[in-house]
């Protein structure tokens, strides 16, 4: 058999090849499919890997940012941050404040041991704190840390431990508590000062809880109420409050309990001995700033029993004053000055007035209170604005007499200032008195005119009597001469001589003596009349100069009796220079006339201001005046001793009294017989009209 395959074998082989080809095609298709799937998987993995790389890059960027943010965050912390390895306790990480607050650079800080920061000697305490952190996970330590300048700065440090597979760490934060320590010290000082003040205060210092129970009471409680402080601790203050005061106190108490507040109130509290005592208390509530809850209430209480008694008396006095105010016959009005835009007084407002106001003015109280003076009195400028506003602004009282034409009334008005920009007027209606005074003045003028005319007219017959008496004297002398030349029997001659040389001259002497006396009286009446008739020129007088000039004019008289005059510094007054000169001259002349011949005369002249008056005194050590004469020495022509050889008509003091009356003043004497006399003269130191 040859080596060539048969057809059948070839067909069979072809069939097998076709089968193999089919299998290969199928396998190839599967391979292509798998390859395509692998390609797709490769592309998918490639895309996913690229995304992972991008995300990894993003994560790295985010991580770097977070690391940078964390560093910035740590650097922004108010205190220091530190990270130590454990158990080596070497510093490997910190924030900028660690360098700034302690003064070291980064190179000086790096890898520094934890004990290097602390005060020598506290290593066991620091080590114990570190061990507690590593054992419990956290701990707090207050300790000073070393500053580069060598000083130690107080810090409060919080430690936290955390672990990694490779290493354990101690991490923490520290806060500079220098200010807190300073505040704590100041607080201790303040508490010490509070304790010192409370322990020595005359008031009762106390602290309460929200229920009013005593937490602290100062020792003064024993002095003021009789209680020992320990007797009150834990007890409510409301136990001791007077029942009538509790409702008021509870309301005030609730106010300070609910919110931070300060309140003041008065109340009565029971003392240990039994009686209630008046107190004034100031309450202040203290709240916790963090929680907003009430911590305690502080109270300072003062005994005001005496003040309350005085207030009760004052209230009673005010009631009496109000009664008096309304019962006064004088018109009393209280005003307030109203100013313009430039600060100048332009009006005044009536604040209050009494019943007499309506009685005198006819204006009802309701129509006056609260209204302007210009409205009430219906004038563009209210009455006496300048005078009244001056008193309100300066506070200086003022008094004057005036005629108010719209009411046709005469008033005496006293103006005082009860407070800033306010004034009160006390007005007396003197219209009736003024009318009487006018009548009296007219009568006085008539009397003075009558006195002047009578005195003047009396002088004419008196001069005639004096003249005819002198002529009669000459005729008698002529008759006597003729009789001597005539021859008359002896009996008749003796009788004629006796008549002409004794009887007739004695009668003529009597006539002439009485004529002279009558002439002196008439001159005195004329002098008194002139004193009342002369118009005064009123001005401010330098009394020191006036008295010195009077005394200087009497130097000869004073030297004759070896008298001494002491003149103190004298206040000025208002008056007529000529009349006051005459008045003081008369008094000083009297002191010289009636000096005690048994001792040198000493005259002391002084003066003092009293309100709006000046009182001058002229004291001498003369013979003095008996009490029975002291009221009559001011009468015209009155002499204490008419038989005295001291010349005078008894006019000096009556003229002095008349001058003082014209000056609206007073004059009086205090004297002791055999000791001396003091004349007092009261004059005005404010300008006045005659």
Beta strands in 98-203 (DSSP E): 138-146, 152-163, 168-176
* Cα 219 to Cα 97: distance, rounded to the nearest angstrom: 50
Concatenate the DSSP letters of all residues of 255-307 into one string. HHHHSS-EEEEEEEEE-TTS-EEEEEEEEEEEE-TTT--EEEEEEEEEE-HHH
Read off the pLDDT band of 261 (50, 70, 90): confident
pLDDT digits (tens, 9 = 90+) for 415-449: 999 989 999 999 988 888 878 877 776 666 655 66
The answer for residues whose C-beta is within 8 angstroms of residue 70's C-beta and 6 or more apart is none
Peptide bond into 87 cis (omega under 30): yes
> Per mean pLDDT, which range of 161-175, 354-368, 400-414, 475-489 is the poorest?
475-489
> What SS3 state is found at 143?
strand
**Beta 564-567 vs 602-610: how paired, if at all?**
parallel
Q: How many helices (H) and strands (E) does the chain have?
A: 19, 22
Most confident of 512-516, 555-559, 634-638: 555-559
| % of the chain with per-residue pLDDT over 70 | 76
Query: Which carries the bigger pLDDT value, residue 47 or residue 101?
Result: 101
Q: Which of 361, 362, 331, 336 is nearest to 426 (CA)?
A: 331
The answer for residues whose C-beta is within 8 angstroms of residue 310's C-beta and 6 or more apart is none
Q: Which of 102, 97, 44 is nearest to 71 (CA)?
A: 97
Read off the pLDDT band of 547 (50, 70, 90): very high
> Per mean pLDDT, which range of 76-90, 494-508, 557-571 is the poorest?
494-508
Mean pLDDT value of segment 639-667 = 72
């Amino acid at each position: 058999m040859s080596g060539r395959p048969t057809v059948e074998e070839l067909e069979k082989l072809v069939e097998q090849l076709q089968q193999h080809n089919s299998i290969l095609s199928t396998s190839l298709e599967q391979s292509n499919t798998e390859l395509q799937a692998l390609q797709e998987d490769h592309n998918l993995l490639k895309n996913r890997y690229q995304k992972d790389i991008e995300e990894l890059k993003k994560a790295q960027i985010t991580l770097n940012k977070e690391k940078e943010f964390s560093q910035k965050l740590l650097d922004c912390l108010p205190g220091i941050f530190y990270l130590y390895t454990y158990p080596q306790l070497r510093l490997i990480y910190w924030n900028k404040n660690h360098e700034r607050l302690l003064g070291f650079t980064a190179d000086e800080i790096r890898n520094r041991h934890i004990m290097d920061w602390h005060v020598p000697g506290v290593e066991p305490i620091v080590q114990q704190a570190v061990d507690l952190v590593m054992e419990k996970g956290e701990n707090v330590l207050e300790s000073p840390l070393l500053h580069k300048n060598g000083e130690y700065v107080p810090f409060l440090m919080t430690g936290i431990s955390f672990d990694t597979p490779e290493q354990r760490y101690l991490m923490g934060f520290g806060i500079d508590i220098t200010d807190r320590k300073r505040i704590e010290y100041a607080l201790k000082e303040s508490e010490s000062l509070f304790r010192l003040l409370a322990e020595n205060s005359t008031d009762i210092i106390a602290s309460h809880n929200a229920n009013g129970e005593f937490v602290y009471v100062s020792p003064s409680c024993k002095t003021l109420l009789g209680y020992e402080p320990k007797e009150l601790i834990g007890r409510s203050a409301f136990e001791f409050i007077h029942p009538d005061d509790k409702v008021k106190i509870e309301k005030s108490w609730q106010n300070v309990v609910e919110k931070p507040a300060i309140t003041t109130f008065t109340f009565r509290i029971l003392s240990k001995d039994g009686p209630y005592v008046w107190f004034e208390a100031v309450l202040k509530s203290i709240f916790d700033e963090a929680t907003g809850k009430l911590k305690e209430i502080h109270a300072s209480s003062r005994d005001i029993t005496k003040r309350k008694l005085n207030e009760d008396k004052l209230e009673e006095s005010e009631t009496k004053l109000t009664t008096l105010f309304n019962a006064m016959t004088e018109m009393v009005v209280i005003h307030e000055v109203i100013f313009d835009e430039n600060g100048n007084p332009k009006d005044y407002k009536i604040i209050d007035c009494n019943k007499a106001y309506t009685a005198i003015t006819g204006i009802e109280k309701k129509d006056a209170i609260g209204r302007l003076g210009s409205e009430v009195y219906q004038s563009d400028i209210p009455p006496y604005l300048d005078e009244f506003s001056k008193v309100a602004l300066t506070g200086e009282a003022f008094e004057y007499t005036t005629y108010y034409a719209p009411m046709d009334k005469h008033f005496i008005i006293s103006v005082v200032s009860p407070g800033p920009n306010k004034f009160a007027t006390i007005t007396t209606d003197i219209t009736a008195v003024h009318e009487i005074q006018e009548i009296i003045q007219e009568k006085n003028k008539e009397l003075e005119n009558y006195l002047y005319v009578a005195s003047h007219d009396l002088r004419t017959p008196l001069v005639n009597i004096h003249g005819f008496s002198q002529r009669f004297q000459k005729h008698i002398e002529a008759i006597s001469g003729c009789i001597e030349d005539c021859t008359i029997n002896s009996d008749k001659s003796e009788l004629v001589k006796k008549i002409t040389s004794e009887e007739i001259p004695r009668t003529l002497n009597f006539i002439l003596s009485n004529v002279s006396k009558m002439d002196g009286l008439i001159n005195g009446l004329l002098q008194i009349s002139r004193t009342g008739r002369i118009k005064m020129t009123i001005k401010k007088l330098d009394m020191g100069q006036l008295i010195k000039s009077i005394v200087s004019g009497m130097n000869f008289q004073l030297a004759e009796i070896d008298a001494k005059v002491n003149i103190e510094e004298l206040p000025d007054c208002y008056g007529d220079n000529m009349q006051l000169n005459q008045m003081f001259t008369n008094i000083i002349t009297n002191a010289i006339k009636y000096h005690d011949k048994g001792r040198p005369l000493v005259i002391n002249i002084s003066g003092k201001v009293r309100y709006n008056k000046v009182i001058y005194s002229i004291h001498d050590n003369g013979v003095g005046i008996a009490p029975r004469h002291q009221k009559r020495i001011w009468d015209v022509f009155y002499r204490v001793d008419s038989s005295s050889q001291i010349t005078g008509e008894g006019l000096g003091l009556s003229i002095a009294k008349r001058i003082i009356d014209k000056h609206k003043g007073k004059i009086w004497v205090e004297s002791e017989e055999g000791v001396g006399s003091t004349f007092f003269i009261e004059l005005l130191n404010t300008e006045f009209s005659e």
